[in-house]
Amino acid sequence: MCLPITLVAMPGTFPLLGEPLAVDLANTIMRGDDGVTDLLRDVPALHEWLEIHAAELPSGGRPNRAPSAYRLRELRDALSELFGAAIERRESGEPTLALVNDAAAAAHPTLRPGPDGPAREWRPTSRRRGATDIAAIARSAIDVLTGPDRDKLRRCNGPGCVLFFVAANPRRRWCSSQLCGNRVRVARHRHHQPGA
């Protein structure tokens, strides 16, 4: 859901759109008229984001197995740059690509027996804390940027909103039709009212 930038900055609020893991991470930095708001501004916010995404992360969102705030922010900034470049159809810098590639290589998936058949398990190739979570997020970005979702990647057209989303419907223009889309419709309606 997209929230106005002033509301997004409130503690405990993340714009969760049901997007791929890497897109949700990129959406934790907001840019607006008031400057930049980092939703992963401190360790409690970082742990909250990881807990929200526990089902998608190899660590299960456990803080003792989580990546450092620095590494997560560094990856987030690289993803934001790569997604922006993909939308604008421009090249990304080699250092940004190398950062994501190194992050993806920090762990590799293997199969283990599961109750419903084989399940994916991440094995770290790096001794750095959180390597498996970082690798899972980086691989999510690689999937978005090299798969069919690349051409569906968008930035919200809502006023003041800079969130990324993958548009399953090619006509989708907003991160959330209930919030940004509704605000645009309300503003358009007011503009067409007599005396407006």
Kindly give the confidence (pLDDT) of every residue in the chain, 196 residues in length, as a single tens digit, with 9 standing for 90 and above: 333 333 333 344 777 778 999 999 999 987 766 777 889 988 899 999 999 999 999 989 888 888 888 999 999 999 999 999 999 999 999 999 999 999 999 888 888 888 888 888 888 888 788 889 999 999 999 999 999 999 999 998 887 788 899 999 988 888 877 667 665 555 554 555 666 5
* DSSP-H helix ranges across 63-122: 69-88, 94-104
Structure tokens at 147: 């798969």
SS3 61: coil
CA distances from 70 to 67, 155, 165 (A): 8, 25, 24
Taking only Cα atoms into account, the Rg of the chain, rounded to an integer number of angstroms, comes to: 18
Pairing, β 119-124 against β 35-38: unpaired
Whether the model clears a pTM of 0.85, i.e. scores above it, the answer is no
